[in-house]
Amino acid sequence: MASDATIFTLFGATGDLAKRMVLPAFWDLFTRGLMPKRWRLIGNGRGEVSDEEFRDHVRSVLEQFGPGDLPEGKWREFADNLRFSGGGFRPGDPGTLVEVIGTALDEVGADANYIHYLALPPGAFAKITEALAEYKLLGHDARVVYEKPFGTSLKTFRELDELVHSVMSESQVYRIDHFLGKEATQNLHVLRFANPMIGSIWDARSVCQVQIDVPETLGVSDRAEFYDANGAFRDMIATHLFQVAAEVAMEPPHSLSADDLQAARTDVLEHFRPLAPDEVIFGQFDGYRELPDVPDDSTTDTYAAAQLWVDSERWAGVPFVLRSGKRMHRGYQEVSLVLRPEPGPLSGVPDSILRMSLSGAGSMAARLMVKKPGPDLELATRPIEINLGDVPGTDPMPPYVSLLHDVIIGDRSLFTSSQSLERAWEVAEPVLADPPTPQPYAPGSWGPADAVELTDGIGWVAERAAG
C-alpha cells in the first residue's frame, strides 16, 4: 500500500472468531511494531455499543485469549485506535459505519487505505460485499479479507465469486486459510526445495502414501449452529486439507512469489481427481445431537476421512489420505510421507516414514530402521526429530498474525485464489451431492473404525506415534 495509514473494519467484531483469533492477532502485530504508522480499527456489529464499551470488550478478549496481563501504557496506546460502529451494515442501511469511517479518515488522514475483514458466517458475505460497493468503500486501495468457507458448495462458490469480481479485482480479495499461514506449512517449501536429500524422495517412486491427519480433541463449543450447517468435510477437508495437499503435491514453482505459488497450487489442484463417495467416511460423535442449536435428527458429520488421488505424473498411483474430526482421542496436525521399502536384502522391513508437524513452529521427524548394536543382525526403529522452534533466533508468528500482516503489506502468496477454490469445490462436489451416512463414534476415541481401511493397511501413522 502506498499510504502508511490504514483503516481496518472488522465485521463480526464481537463474534467467536474475532475473540479467539482476529483481535489477538491485531494486538500481536501492534506489540511487534508491525501495524501501519497511522491506523484505526473499527469494530462493526448490530448492537449499539460505545467506543469505550468496545474497548472494554477487546481488553477482556485479550486477557482471555491473548497474552493475559496487558502493560497499561501499551494497552492505552492500542485502545486509543479502537472505534465501534453499530446498527449493522447492509445494502440500503449502512448503520453508522460510513460516518465512523469518515471520522477515522479525518483523524489518520484522507490518504488512508481500507482493509475490511469479514469475520462472519459465509451466508453474510454477499450482503456485506454488496454494501461495501454501494457505499463506495472499495476504493482507497481497499483489500477485503474473507474467512473460510468461501461458499459452501460449487454452486454457492460460483455465485459469491461472480458477485465479488463484479465489484472488485481479484488482487483486492484475500480468502484466508489459516493452515497456509502456519509457519510449518510455509516451511514445507524450504524443506523440500532447499534440501536435495528430501526433495529427491518427493514423488511416487519413493512415497507409497501421503497422510494429512488433523484430529481435534475439542468439540464445537458455542459454534454449534454454524458447525451444524457445514460439518467436518466442508469445514476441514474441502478447505484446509485440500490446500495442504496442494502444498505437498505441487510442482516446484518458478519462484516463491505470490503469483508463482498460487499458480503452482492451482495447477496441481487441476490434477485432483473428484472424490468418490465410497472413498469417504463420515462420523458423528455420540451426544452431538444433544447440544444446543443442533437438531435432534442432525446428520452433520463431525468427522470426515477421505482417500484423494492426484493424477499428476509425480503422484500417479499414490493415495493422499485426509482425516479430521472433533472430540477425538488426541489432537495434532501432521503430514506424513510413507516411504516405499528399498529393494535389496532388507526389502521386507517396515517402511520408513517422514512426519511433519504443522503445529506451532513445526517439527520434522523421521522413523529410520537401523541395526541394533550387537553380535546379531537385529533391526530397530529409531526416531530423528527436529523442532523448528529450537532454531536460534526463532520468533514464530501465529497463523492469523502472519496472514493479517501479509494483508497489510499486500502479499497474497499464502491466500487461496479463485481458480484453486473453484477446483477444490469441484473435487468435493460428488461427496456433497451424495454424502455418506455418518457412523457414530465415542467421544475420546479415534473415530469410526472403518476409516482405517482408507490407509490400505498402513494405519494412521501419526496416531500410532501419539499413542
Model confidence pLDDT, tens digit, residues 216-270: 999 987 678 888 989 999 999 998 999 999 999 999 998 878 888 889 999 999 9
Q: Is 51 annotated as a binding residue?
A: no
Q: Give the mean pLDDT of 360-380.
A: 83
Written as nine digits, the cell of 70 is 496487558
Number of H helices, E strands in the chain: 16, 15
Render pLDDT for 132-171 as a digit per residue (tens, 0 to 9): 999 999 988 899 999 988 989 999 999 999 999 999 999 9
Residue pointed to by grid coordinates 462458490: 157
Render pLDDT for 378-416 as a digit per residue (tens, 0 to 9): 888 777 888 877 777 777 788 899 999 999 999 998 888
Catalytic pick among 240, 254, 271, 405: 240
> Which residues neighbour 155 within 8 Å (Cβ) at sequence distance 6 or greater?
none
Q: Is 16 annotated as a binding residue?
A: yes
Render pLDDT for 255-279 as a digit per residue (tens, 0 to 9): 878 888 889 999 999 999 999 999 9
SS3 340: coil
Cis amide bond preceding 292, omega within 30 = no
Which of 205, 206, 214 is CA-nearest to residue 185? 214
Residue pointed to by grid coordinates 469475520: 119
Q: Is 37 annotated as a binding residue?
A: no
Q: Is 14 annotated as a binding residue?
A: yes
What is the Cα–Cα distance from 275 to 237, expressed in whole angstroms?
11
DSSP string spanning 161-207? HHHHHHHS-GGGEEE--TTTTSHHHHHHHHHHHS-HHHHTT-STTTE
Q: Is 235 annotated as a binding residue?
A: yes
Q: Is 86 annotated as a binding residue?
A: no
Q: Which domains does the chain carry?
A: 5-147 (3.40.50.720), 183-466 (3.30.360.10)
Render pLDDT for 427-454 as a digit per residue (tens, 0 to 9): 999 999 999 999 999 999 999 999 999 9
Render pLDDT for 308-347 as a digit per residue (tens, 0 to 9): 999 999 999 999 999 999 999 999 999 999 998 777 676 6
Written as nine digits, the cell of 136 is 463506495
Render pLDDT for 3-16 as a digit per residue (tens, 0 to 9): 799 999 999 999 98
What is the Cα–Cα distance from 116 to 138, expressed in whole angstroms?
9
Tally the C-alpha atoms within 13 A of residue 82's C-alpha that lie toward its C-beta. Answer: 22
CB atoms near residue 129 (< 10 Å): 23
Please write down the long-range contacts of 285-288, taking CB distance under 8 Å and 24 or more positions apart.
285/219, 285/325, 285/326, 285/327, 285/440, 285/441, 285/442, 285/443, 286/440, 286/441, 286/442, 286/443, 287/443, 288/220
- Compute, in degrees rounded to 10, the torsion defined by CA atoms 233, 334, 267, 280: -30
Whether the pLDDT of residue 122 is over 90: the answer is no
Q: Is 240 part of the annotated catalytic residue set?
A: yes
